[in-house]
Amino acid sequence: MEEEYREGIRLFNAGEFWHAHEQWEACWLRAGEAESSFYKGIIQAAAALVHWQRGNPRGLHRNWEKSRPKLAALPPVMHAIDLHALISDMDQFVAADGAGSPAPQIHLTGT
């Protein structure tokens, strides 16, 4: 995995969603067409959580609505990220407007 990609995961899991977004944007700009949806999806998930941190539930929902179909169209695991778990966690988090639970984490698999 690329250094920027791994750093983006670390930042996301540390709650630094804006910085994760920036790391992944560099990867997205170099990605081929096949990987473009993956990077767009995780970037938009991070952007949704930036809006949540800023107290903007509408931005949380709108960005997740953009992200979710991209991630759902991909295999359940891509680039070691358990996308199935991320989608499920984000769905629950967004449905609750981020209230009462910590922000979702990215879970890595051994594949």
Residue 11 to residue 66: CA distance in whole angstroms: 21
Which conformational region is residue 79 in: left (phi greater than 0), alpha (psi within -120 to 50 degrees), or beta?
left
The pLDDT, as a whole number, for residue 110 is 72
Looking at residue 104, the DSSP 8-state letter turns out to be: P
pTM of the model: 0.94
Pick among 1.10.238.10, 1.10.260.40, 1.10.3450.10, 3.30.70.2470: CATH of 3-95: 1.10.3450.10
pLDDT in tens, the chain (111 residues): 589 999 999 999 999 999 999 999 999 989 888 799 999 999 999 999 999 999 999 999 999 999 999 999 999 999 999 999 999 999 999 999 999 889 999 999 975
Burial grade of 85 (CB within 10 A; 0-12, 13-18, 19 or more):
middle
